[in-house]
Amino acid sequence: MSAKLALSTVIYRMTEKGDATVSQISPRPGRGRPRLLPGKIAANPRDQILAAAAELFVSRGYAGTTTREIADGAGLRQASIYYHFGSKEEILAALLERSVQARVEQAGKIEAGMDSVAPDAALYALAVSDMSALVAMPYNIGMLYRLPDVIASPVYDRYGHLRGELVAGYGRVAERAAAERVPAGGEPGLGDLLVQMVEGVISLRREDRIGSTTVATIASACLRLCGIAEDAIEQARETALTALAQT
């Protein structure tokens, strides 16, 4: 449990620049015209805008969200957004990049370290860490990739292929875990089916239905989908969690 949280917390961070200097964290007053609206001045207005936009895009869609609403959420005026971002699409691009890249990198790490653990444990670990990342993302921005107006947007093209890599990674790990137990080469591959299952947490989260057993239940279902027996699932779970704790 703590391993899970630690992992996802490390992987996903809302603040992009790791080299935040003191002046950025606490900007001295008097730099620029003071904000009109109440509340404390943000440590990083760019991140405030991103957070507000993420929440709104996910709950009302990209096209359904206005820059004025984003500005309200971030505590500044509509026009002030354009000091930090060149356009509304640029805000979307920043969010898109963050939301997949973390998942793909994480999946790559687990796949790379697959030799040292049993294949079924590796799959369990992959599912758990990926779902933890999805759950830990601010405002459920994993959902952005499901929005048609986002997919239709030109900025999607720059990040869409990353999702394909994620599916392929799931496929490779699952194929090894399934061994010969399930018929291979079905039209939606194992990778597709598993990613579909795992991303169910996005809908559950939107409905406020993430409980303490949610991630474990779905991860077990993933192994079951590979034809792995119940006792083996339980064992893989133990192995995976201790492996994750060491990361």
Q: Residue holding tokens 């409980």?
A: 211
Residue 158 in the binding site for DNA (CB under 7 A): no
Could you say whether residue 62 binds its own copies (CB under 8 A)? yes
Among 37, 43, 151, 245, binds DNA (CB under 7 A): 37
The nearer residue to DNA, 12 or 85, going by C-beta atoms, is: 85
**Concatenated DSSP letters for 198-210?**
HTHHHHHHHTT--
Considering CB distances under 5 to 8 angstroms, the limit depending on partner class, which of DNA, its own copies, none binds residue 187? its own copies
Q: Contact 57/92 with Cβ under 8 angstroms?
A: yes
Q: Euclidean distance between the first and final Cα of the chain, in Å?
A: 13
Token reading at 42: 């943000």
Provide the 3-class DSSP secondary structure of residue 186: coil
Q: Which of 165, 6, 155 is nearest to 87 (CA)?
A: 155
d(CA 55, CA 25): 23
With respect to its own copies, which residue has the nearer C-beta, 9 or 59? 59
For residue 188, the Cα-to-chain-centroid distance in whole angstroms is 23
Of residues 121-180, which lie at the interface with its own copies (CB under 8 A)? 143, 146-149, 152
- Report, in Å, the least distance between residue 46 CB and its own copies: 24
Which among DNA, its own copies, none contacts residue 230 (Cβ within 5 to 8 A by kind)? its own copies
Stretch that binds DNA, among 68-76, 145-153, 154-162, 166-174 (CB under 7 A): 68-76
80 binds, among DNA, its own copies, none (CB under 5 to 8 A by kind): DNA
Min CB(24)–DNA separation in Å: 8
Cβ-based burial of 160 (10 A; exposed 0-12, middle 13-18, buried ≥19): middle
Interaction site with its own copies (CB under 8 A): 58-64, 143, 146-149, 152, 181-183, 186-188, 192-193, 196-197, 200, 203-204, 209, 211-214, 217-218, 220-221, 224-225, 227, 230
